[in-house]
Amino acid sequence: MRRAAVVAVAACALAASGLLSTRATAAPEPRDAGPRAAGPSVAADHALVGYLHTSFANGSGYTRLADTPDSWDIIDLAFGEPTSATSGDIRFGLCPRTECPNVETKDEFKAAVKAKQAAGKKVLISIGGQNGQVQLKTAQARDTFVASVSKIIDEYGLDGLDIDFEGHSLSLDANDTDFKNPKTPVVVNLISAVKALKAKYGAGFTLTMAPETFFVQLGYQFYGTGKWGGQDPRAGAYLPVIHALRDDLTLLHVQDYNSGPIMGLDNQYHFMGGADFHIAMTDMLLTGFPVAGDKNNVFPPLPPQKVAIGMPASVNAGNGHVSTGEVNKALDCLTKGSNCGSYKPHGTWPDLRGLMTWSINWDRFNNWEFSKNFDRYFG
């Protein structure tokens, strides 16, 4: 996720420089960004997930949690960030008033959390983001992560955790070649930490993940440094985390944006900007795929109820934004088997969970176009 709009990464998905991005100039504050009235209730079997800029401001403006429309079923508070990349000590606070003049008080915020929960919504702390590199290299960092995240969840009365590790948070050691049996400390410790949190809070603990395509679907071609070395060690590095936690996972919503071209199961490269990219990327998760081309080492498919499609809410929010028409084409193809383009998925999944977007704030800036379209489609 990005605090400001970004441009696309370099054209080659496995460029030596990795996932590069630059920030665009923030858009001006809108004159009228008032919350819309609550729309029709979204069916319980579909969900709209959105990130709420809670600890910072940018060109989208600050939105109070209480002013977030009822359309949003899961609200990810962005972001909890570490005191240092390797400390595991996660901190979270509301945006400073000097940066966000309309920020609520902590008591008002906590009351808004309870009100959302009373309305059947989930409110999670999202860890990481563009600036929050988290590398749990040691057992001490792992334990500190569990303790500090628990403190945030308990203080604000939250429902769970969203893992939004980006950049260099996850990478694989050279001898780590099997996603089913990871060896890399930052991967093993993250899995252990999340399992500890799940065990502490029980079956009601909500766990979501928002990896970038580089860390998931790119694994179809490349995994870690490769058998002969030389590849980017971050390639596919989320796969062991997703696999180890698939039973605990509530929802996976890969960021289908700010991405280079990714090879789909048709062995063709797919590019952002249309429905086909979302169809191809989602099909890989729902069908499963051989990791690094090894047919004897297949990443198993995820249930459609655990998968949502990640999209930018507006052209300001991130590179790869598509029109609502393209959003609906992707949903039609994946859930109904109709309106498909050049990419033909390997099945039809009416139980696809829904959509995720970066971000609620940018959707507000854009007159709630993304969430209104979701309500119309599933309402």
SS3 (DSSP) at 126 = strand
How far is it, in rounded angstroms, from Cα 145 to Cα 185? 14
H helix runs in 47-138, sequence order: 106-118
Q: Which residues are catalytic?
A: 166
Count of CB atoms within 10 A of residue 306's CB?
Answer: 21
- Token pair in block for residue 194: 């999340």
Nearest to 370 by CA among 102, 69, 58: 69
How far is it, in rounded angstroms, from Cα 280 to Cα 203? 32
- Token pair in block for residue 364: 């507000």
- Token pair in block for residue 365: 């800036």
SS3 (DSSP) at 44 = coil
Scan for tokens 């709209």, then name that residue: 48
Count of CB atoms within 10 A of residue 32's CB?
Answer: 5
DSSP string of 249-293, one letter each residue: -SEE--B-SS---EE-TTS-EE-SSSHHHHHHHHHHHHH-EEETT
CB under 8 A, 24+ apart: contacts of 194-203: 194/161, 194/163, 194/241, 194/245, 194/248, 195/245, 195/248, 196/146, 197/146, 197/149, 197/150, 197/161, 198/248, 200/146, 200/150, 201/153, 201/160
Nearest to 82 by CA among 233, 232, 190, 9: 190
Nearest to 136 by CA among 159, 165, 161: 165
